[in-house]
Copies of this chain bind each other. A is one copy, B any other.
Amino acid sequence: MSVPLYQAKAELFRTLGHPVRIRVLELLQDGPKPVRDLLAMIEVEASNLSQQLAVLRRAGMVTSHRDGPLVMYALSTPDVADLLAAGRRILGSVLTDRDSLLDELRATSGDR
């Protein structure tokens, strides 16, 4: 028996659990881009970006190929966009809940 399904799901989500990797995926939603461009849009060192791209590649979420002097990256499936969109929605629900809780806290107890 291989890795259980829920373990694979956890790994999938963990792959998205890094700010640079999230940004890369969001940028690639508009189409393939060379590392060069990603580097210009994300403030991070080249070697660090490369490490994060390797994580995404190993997880099968992006593909890469060399095009002359540049290396191009692309989403391996448009489903990635759905996942990011779902994340955005839930962030909305969860953050507004937290904010209202924070407001309530501020209203009832003195400070802090």
User: Which A residues lie at the B interface, using CB under 8 A?
Assistant: 2-19, 21-23, 26, 59-61, 76-77, 79-80, 82-95, 97-101, 104-105, 108, 112
For the complex, what is the distance from the CA of A92 to the CA of B3, rounded to whole Å?
Answer: 14
Contacts of A14 in B (CB 8 A): 13-14, 16-18
- Main DSSP-derived SS at the A contact region: helix
Number of copies: 2
Residue in B12, B18, B92 whose beta carbon sits within 8 Å of that of A91 in the complex: B12
| Cβ-closest chain B residue relative to A93 | B77
Given contacts A10-B19, A11-B17, contact A5 B101 (CB under 8 A): yes
Chain B residues with Cβ below 8 Å from A77 are 90, 93-94, 97
Contact A8 B95 (CB under 8 A): yes
Q: Which residue of B lies closest to A16 (CB)?
A: B13
Contacts of A10 in B (CB 8 A): 16-19, 21-22
